[in-house]
Amino acid sequence: MGTVRAVIFDLDGTLLDTLPDLVAITNKALSDLGFPTHSRDEILSYIGLGAESLISQALPAGTSQEDLLRTLDHWRALYPVMGDTLTSYFLGIEDMLANLRRAGIKTAVLSNKFDAGTQQVVTRYFPGLFDVVHGEDSEIPRKPDPTGLLRTLSELACRPQEAAYVGDSPTDMEVAHRAGVQAWAVIWGYNPPASLKAAGADKVVQAANDIVRFACG
């Protein structure tokens, strides 16, 4: 095995294509409360910094804080029912995770999705495949704050220099560097590869099993 003992993953846009569900649930929440809906590309441009940021950007300019919180609460209430029904795996993800575990490498998820939604999705699509799973909550602030990543490393009993964080956004590259771990960027996610290279990606992942090759040396 190489020098990497643990690989920690972003969720949306890295392990799973969750965008169809995010479009559906966001537009349902907006429509139910009388607000205009958005196209796929518009909602894509809003994601990455958690549900509150998504809803804030999706609502019309000048919307009150009260209406923002009301819409966010409705969005979260809808999530258990329709939050992951259209989600799909990116190519090779399941085999890659199995290969990492066979190699004795620990795996974890750290997402900006709210924690209950993160746990729901991981339990459905990756039962038993991760040693640690965290989404945003009162103790895990949104990336690029490194608090959640450092906590995950501690729970994995792994030093930063022995770990890599895999993601699809400049925010993911930033949180990795702030925590002192390697930043690996996937090319199939929701951001152009050039933006990830500009954000300081240490490695660029062209295909899922590249992660195994990088980790095992």
Active site residues: 10
Q: Are strands 163-167 and 6-9 parallel, antiparallel or unpaired?
A: parallel
3-state secondary structure of 76: helix
Q: Are strands 132-136 and 16-17 parallel, antiparallel or unpaired?
A: unpaired
Beta bridge pairs of residue 190: none
Taking the alpha carbons of 46, 185, 98, 215 in that order, is the dihedral positive or negative? negative
The one-character DSSP state at 61 is: T
Please answer whether residues 187 and 178 qualify as being in contact, where contact means their C-beta atoms are separated by less than 8 angstroms. Answer: no
Q: How many CB atoms lie within 10 A of CB 16?
A: 22
Alpha-carbon distance of 193 to 185, in angstroms, equals 8
The residue count for the chain: 217
Alpha-carbon distance of 201 to 70, in angstroms, equals 38
